């Protein structure tokens, strides 16, 4: 951000006599010390936050107040003046210790005190020109302070975006070591919170800010950054309890994502576990095109068959391992599931094929759902079970 051009004070335009201007400025310079002392006393009495600052910060505010009053004298004389130069006396770290609102309080209090001191310490003939000058000067200082804070915020935002992008890249690459957790901590991220990773198409830049605000309203912490043609989002916070709850929350953010599927990985413990969630979400996002009839926002586990067919070894092991083994643990459940699927999901046909009562079929189907989490009477879940049985038998062979 380029600094504004120098401004010139109001005294030359008000007082035509060079001799009179010199006399006014001489009398003003003689009382600047008293004005500075009165300003600090007013800060102490009017603002509680001033008394809570450490001694070093109070000392720098003293320097700033003195610099501001001296700058008023130079500006009033018509010398070249840039408002930002008043703040050059203080270190850059002061912008992190004193908020913009506190800086406004400082400018307002200094202006009020200088006006009061003009009435108390200077002749009546000097007051009108000096009062008009301090009003214009305080405006210049306020704009200068706003410019400094805006520049600091812009630089901080750019720096935070770079750190956020490196954290996202490390999660995608499964390289979440201590240095990555430290970078996330500098962004205010709670590294111990449960997380899920969601992947969608990259939206327009403006939508990312809206996504952040909407996530905050839902109680979700968010780290996000485009990664190629995909948007990778890490959601965390107390609102993340389990995968299904997280998926429902992410579904409420659909208007802020680009068109296309949104795939949510399983919940993980802390940012260190986020790579597993990211891997599953990325695999699901690649395979989502094979199930366009599915919901727009879905869990990666909802796409296990498509992921397995697209070459995801983790999905194959989940289907052929955990799901199949929970079914194969009972021979009668496995036989009933296969018979039910082979009979076109008909209770009566299954009972005839297995020589058991239809109520027995219903009872066993209920047990199959309890054991695997999938209901054979649902067409989609029956497809998952069929794929699990096929892969399980292949792995066991």
34 in helix, strand or coil?
Answer: helix
The pLDDT of 367-385, averaged and rounded, is 95
- Which whole-number Å values give the CA distances from 233 to 15, 216, 281, in the listed order? 63, 13, 10
Closest by alpha carbon to 234, among 204, 200, 278, 201?
A: 278
Specify the range with the lowest mean pLDDT, choosing from 47-51, 202-206, 275-279: 202-206
Q: What are the φ/ψ torsions at residue 206 (nearest 5 degrees)?
A: -60, -30
**Contact, 389 vs 333, CB < 8 A?**
no
**Contact, 3 vs 82, CB < 8 A?**
yes
Residue 386 tokens, joined: 């069929």
**Contact, 23 vs 130, CB < 8 A?**
no
The two most distant CA atoms of the chain are separated, in Å, by 119
Task: Give me the domains of the chain, ranges plus CATH numbers.
Answer: 11-155 (no CATH), 178-309 (3.30.70.2730), 313-396 (1.10.10.2840)
Residue 127 has pLDDT above 60, yes or no: yes
How many Å apart are CA 321 and CA 327, to the nearest integer? 10
The angle formed by the CA atoms of residues 66, 69 and 75, to the nearest 5 degrees, is 135
pLDDT of 32-83, one tens digit each?
A: 889 888 988 888 888 888 888 888 878 878 887 888 888 888 878 777 666 6
Q: Can you point out the beta strands (E) in the chain?
A: 194-201, 221-227, 230-236, 262-264, 268-269, 297-299
Close Cβ partners of 255 (under 8 Å, ≥ 6 residues apart): none
**Contact, 38 vs 113, CB < 8 A?**
yes
Confidence of residue 341 (pLDDT cuts 50, 70, 90): very high
Confidence of residue 96 (pLDDT cuts 50, 70, 90): low
Q: How far apart are the first and last CA of the chain?
A: 69
The angle formed by the CA atoms of residues 3, 78 and 104, to the nearest 5 degrees, is 50
pTM of the full predicted structure? Answer: 0.64
The angle formed by the CA atoms of residues 44, 48 and 51, to the nearest 5 degrees, is 55
Mean of the per-residue pLDDT values for the chain? Answer: 85
- pLDDT attached to residue 199: 96
Residue 294 tokens, joined: 């599915």
């Amino acid at each position: 951000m380029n600094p504004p051009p120098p401004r010139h004070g109001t005294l030359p335009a008000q007082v035509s006599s060079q001799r009179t201007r010199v006399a006014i400025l001489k009398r003003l310079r003689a009382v600047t010390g008293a004005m500075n002392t009165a300003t600090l006393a007013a800060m102490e009495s009017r603002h509680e936050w001033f008394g809570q600052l450490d001694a070093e910060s109070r000392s720098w505010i003293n320097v700033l107040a003195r610099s501001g009053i001296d700058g008023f004298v130079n500006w009033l004389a018509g010398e070249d003046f840039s408002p930002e130069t008043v703040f050059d006396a203080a270190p850059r770290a002061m912008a992190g210790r004193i908020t913009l609102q506190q800086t406004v309080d400082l400018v307002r209090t200094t202006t009020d005190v200088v006006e009061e001191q003009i009435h108390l310490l200077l002749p009546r003939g000097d007051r009108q020109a000096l009062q008009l000058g301090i009003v214009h000067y305080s405006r210049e200082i306020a704009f200068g302070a706003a410019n400094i804070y805006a520049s600091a915020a812009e630089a901080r935002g750019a720096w935070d975006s770079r750190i956020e992008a490196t954290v996202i890249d490390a999660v995608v690459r499964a390289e979440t070591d201590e240095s990555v957790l430290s970078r996330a901590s500098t962004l205010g991220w709670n590294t111990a919170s449960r997380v899920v990773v969601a992947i969608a198409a990259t939206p327009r830049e403006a939508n990312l800010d809206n996504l952040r605000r909407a996530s905050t309203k839902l109680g979700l912490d968010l780290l996000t950054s485009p990664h190629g043609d995909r948007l990778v989002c890490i959601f965390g916070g107390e609102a993340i309890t389990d995968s299904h709850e997280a998926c429902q929350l992410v579904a409420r953010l659909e208007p802020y994502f680009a068109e296309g599927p949104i795939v949510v990985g399983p919940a993980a413990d802390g940012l260190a576990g986020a790579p597993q969630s990211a891997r599953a979400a990325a695999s699901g996002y690649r395979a989502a095109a094979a199930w366009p009839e599915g919901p727009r926002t879905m869990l990666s586990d909802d796409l296990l068959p498509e992921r397995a067919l697209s070459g995801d070894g983790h999905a194959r092991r989940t289907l052929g391992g955990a799901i199949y083994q929970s079914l194969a643990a009972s021979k009668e459940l496995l036989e009933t599931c296969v018979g039910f699927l082979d009979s076109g999901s008909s209770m009566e046909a299954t009972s005839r094929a297995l020589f058991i009562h239809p109520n027995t079929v219903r009872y066993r189907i209920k047990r199959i759902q309890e054991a695997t989490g999938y209901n054979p009477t649902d067409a989609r879940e029956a497809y998952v079970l069929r794929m699990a049985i096929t892969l399980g038998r292949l792995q066991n062979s």
